[in-house]
Amino acid sequence: MSLMLGVNVDHVATLRQARGENFPDPVMAARLCARAGADLVVCHLRHDRRHIQDSDVLRLKKESGLPVHLEMACTEEMLRIALKIRPDSVCLVPEAPGEKTTQGGLDLSGRNAARIKAAVTRLKKAGIEVSIFADADPDSLRACKKVGADIVELCTKAYAEAPTRKLQDAELEKLSIAAVMLREMDLRIHAGHGIDYNNVGPIARMSGMECLNIGFSIIAKGVFEGLGSAVSEMKGLM
Ligand code: PXP
């Protein structure tokens, strides 16, 4: 099994929305990602629609040439959209108003579990694979199995943001133990959040890892890799 890369194109849409234009287009970005070897296109349709729009999800499905992995909150509104557009897979994530980005794994405790289980059942019935964004703690991982998820996306935020090498190693250890647990429970393993060019290695080498979902670092690097030629082209036209 070769490790897959899901590229999150949210921040292409962030730039478009900042200017209120119809470019840069996340669908064009996804096609470029496909040509460069990406295996999935990932997007997060947020309640506030601050970057990806409903029409982007539909166009990504029809025109990107990649399987679409939709990140979304577990709300009735998002479930209806997913059931209508039918992305290839959905990742259920927590979403808090005003947050800059997702803050951690989904809370599957108490009453939440029944609500999430019902959503997972509806999505799977429609032929959509379901992933749950989860912290690397045993209770959350067991709850993912109980609610019927196909995949668990391990949250790598704490690993990526660890301020010292020692703390990063400790977070890596937690993720490795979580991966062992997921394999034992026969759940597929993804990981994401804050993965960049410096910290990807140990996560990529983790046994059983199926897919890494990466957005910000790739889009940020893409801006700088392309800026030189964009300036040269403009200077040439002048
Ligand atoms: N996976 C999930 C579930 C996310 O919420 C995000 C952020 O949208 C990512 C992966 C990608 O994180 P980043 O943009 O930091 O690479």
Instruction: Give me the residue label for tokens 């912290």.
Output: 135
Q: Is the CB of 8 under 6 A from ligand 1?
A: yes
Token pair of 134, please? 């989860």
Query: Quick check: 73 and 95 in contact, CB under 8 A?
Result: yes
Q: Is the CB of 91 under 6 A from ligand 1?
A: yes
Label residue 94 by pLDDT band (50, 70, 90).
Answer: very high
pLDDT in tens, 111-136: 999 999 999 999 999 999 999 999 99
What is 4-237's CATH superfamily? Aldolase class I (3.20.20.70)
pLDDT in tens, 61-80: 999 999 999 999 999 999 99
Is residue 193 part of the annotated active site? The answer reads yes
Closest CA to 143 of 119, 176, 110: 110
Q: Say which DSSP state 162 is in.
A: -
Q: Is the CB of 101 under 6 A from ligand 1?
A: yes
Domain ranges (residues) in the chain:
4-237
